[in-house]
Amino acid sequence: MLKVKNPILPGFHPDPSICRVGDDYYLATSTFQWFGGVELYHSKDLVNWEHLPSPLSRVSQLDMRGDPNSGGVWAPCLTYCDGMFYLIYTNVTNFHGNLKDTHNYLVTTTDIRGEWSDPIYLNSSGFDPSLFHDDDGKKYLLNMKWDHREGTNFFAGILIQEYSPTEKKLIGKPTNIFRGTYAGGTEGPHMYKHDGYYYLFVAEGGTGYYHGIQMARSKTLLGEYEVDPQPVLTAKHNPESYLQRTGHGALVDSPNGDLFVTFLCGRPITLENQKRRSMLGRETCIAPVFWNEDGWLRLKTGGIVPPVEFEVDKQEYKFPTDPLFDDFDEPTLPLHFKTLRLPFTKEIGSLTERKGCLRLVGNESITSWNKQSLVARRIQHFHMAAITEMEFSPETLQQMAGLTVMYDTYNFFYLYLTKDEESGQNALRILVRDNLKFYNPIEGGCVLIGENNHVWLKAERKDTTLTFSFSLDGESFQNIGGNLDCSNMADEAYGEIGHEGHTGPFVGMACQDLTGEHFCADFFNFSYEVK
């Protein structure tokens, strides 16, 4: 027996979709504005997960330039049928206010580790698309319908429409098959077939603390759908549960017939003012389920609150994990590093121009929604530290490079090297953006370091406290900027400024050149330490 401990994918891994091919499980999660677009993982035991290349590797598949924070890729759906993998995803180009622009696409491959097709455009009527393969060979697209009108239920129901693989387009007209329950916020649809019924999985209650998974069933595909008398899972009535904000599920079976549901969660830290902050973003979990005598899915562990731990009858199968230290000796960017909105190309940086270095090309500002040179990885632990060794020779105050801890361009911390033009020296500065407001926590504005252009930069986070430090020799580090409150690095902080935030914290390297001359910075290594 193996012990499964939730979350199975810690740190920002929301909206998990899962399928099985033989003895292999494949799981996809959202990335929002972070490129790769969709994150893929592989497992044989549901405990150990292998990181796979993203299926969306080029702009022809996913163009997120100009996409807002927490826009981009929402809730992908990964399925397999007759030797083909199907991936459906949304590129959200606008979602602030009542109006949303949600464009849904399909890509395919016969080799999940290989190259995926160019996208087929499907529709834009709503988000959270999924593909259902019926046993008669027909395929159907499901997605929630968005109603932008004032005074209406924005979540206007679940649409279904046939997809033709031969014509590579939707055919017929969409049908609204389910309008949701009193919980509201009906989204994230997945369709399954069992014992003569069509079962509709939906997420309800919003993506906050009232989130959950609801089921409904019908003898016919187009309904009418009967609602399960209770949710499959939710933590909304159990604020003491370790796993909160649980919902948005997908179902998978094992080769021996066991059933599991994947779902997202948050693990909040409670502040002194009783505000809760999910400091690692929304994460991926899994739980065992079974069909009860009434034909509804129930948690094997009992009740509706998902378990933190359970056991599976499987043989352990381990994979190499993402490294904690990178020396950039390989010609390709490691899978755990992500870029913002655009893929890693020569316009962003290079791993070959200087051997053993990640070279970043100075581009637009750290608040840009278009062309940023920023490479970062998820923060996956409440206590962690990141260190990078960097060489950079700025000539003006408009040239910057350094280490950033970023939720998004509205909430970030940035320790960077630049030129202090008054003294003529190189200088270290910190730029903080806290819910749209900028400030610099360094007394006197900067720390002058003479002509030194080779520095080590360190960021250390413990719960909701962040500290920066620097070194000129790689051994002795000096604090800069004091202790910083980073509790804004969470979805919950956004409600305070009237925005929605759905991503998670990252830490990484960045370079900007606001002169347009594209000065470069070289990063020799990057380490992520679990404290």
What would the mean pLDDT of 256-285 be, rounded to a whole number?
95
In angstroms, how far is the first alpha carbon of the chain from the final one?
Answer: 29
| Residue whose C-alpha is closest to residue 523's, from 340, 378, 377 | 377
Compute the distance between CA of residue 403 and CA of residue 10 in angstroms, rounded to an integer: 22
Nearest CA to 492 out of 205, 276, 242 is that of 276
- Say if residue 260's pLDDT is above 80: yes
SS (H, E, C) 67-134: CCCCCEEEEEEEEEECCEEEEEEEEEEECCCCCCEEEEEEEEECCCCCCCCCCEEEECCCCCCEEEEC
pLDDT at position 23 over 80 = yes
pLDDT for 13 equals 98
The pLDDT value given to residue 97: 84
3-state class (DSSP) for residue 385? strand
Q: Which residues of 253-277 are buried (b: 16+ CB within 10 A; e: fewer)?
A: ebeeebbbbbbbbbbbeeeeeeebb
Categorize the per-residue pLDDT at 362 as very low, low, confident or very high, splitting at 50, 70 and 90. very high
pLDDT at residue 500 above 90?
Answer: no
Put simply, whether the predicted model's pTM sits higher than 0.85 gets the answer yes
- With CA atoms as reference, report the closest residue to 126 among 173, 177, 195, 188: 188
Which pLDDT band, with edges at 50, 70 and 90, does 446 fall under?
very high
**What is the DSSP secondary structure assignment for residue 342, as one 8-state letter?**
S
Give the pLDDT confidence score for residue 31 in this predicted structure. Answer: 97
For the chain, percent of residues with pLDDT exceeding 90 = 97
User: Which class for 471: exposed (0-12), middle (13-18), buried (19 or more C-beta within 10 A)?
Assistant: middle
pLDDT confidence tier of residue 311, bands split at 50, 70 and 90: very high
Q: What is the pLDDT of residue 123?
A: 98
State pLDDT tens for residues 105-121: 999 999 999 999 999 99
Between CA 355 and CA 194 the distance in angstroms is: 56
Neighbours of 371 (CB within 10 A): 15
Domain regions of the chain by residue span: 2-312, 325-530
- Whether a cis peptide bond, with omega within 30° of 0, leads into 7 is yes
What pLDDT shows up at residue 514?
A: 98
Spatial CA neighbour of 303 closest among 230, 245, 228: 230
Q: Is the pLDDT of residue 345 over 90?
A: yes
Query: 495 φ, ψ to 5°?
Result: -60, -25
**Count of alpha carbons within 13 angstroms of residue 77, beta-carbon side:** 27
To which CATH superfamily is domain 2-312 assigned?
A: Glycosyl hydrolase domain; family 43 (2.115.10.20)
What average pLDDT is seen over the chain?
Answer: 97
Please state, in angstroms and rounded to a whole number, the distance separating the CA atoms of residues 403 and 385.
Answer: 12
Joined tokens for residue 196: 């003569």
CA torsion 178-180-181-182 (nearest 10°) is -140
Give catalytic residue positions: 15, 187
317-353 residues labelled b (16+ CB within 10 A) or e (exposed): eeeeeeeeebebeeeebbbbbbbbbbbbeeebbbbee
CA angle 325, 330, 332 (to 5 degrees): 105
From the CB of residue 121, how many other CB atoms can be counted at a distance below 10 Å?
Answer: 12
Distance (Å) of CA 70 to CA 64, 163, 298, 395:
11, 28, 32, 34
Mean pLDDT for the stretch of residues 218-230: 97
The CATH class for the domain spanning 325-530 reads mainly beta
Residue 496 has pLDDT above 90, yes or no: no
Taking only the tens place, the pLDDT of each residue in 513-527 is 999 999 999 999 999
Q: To which residue do tokens 């609602």 refer?
A: 227
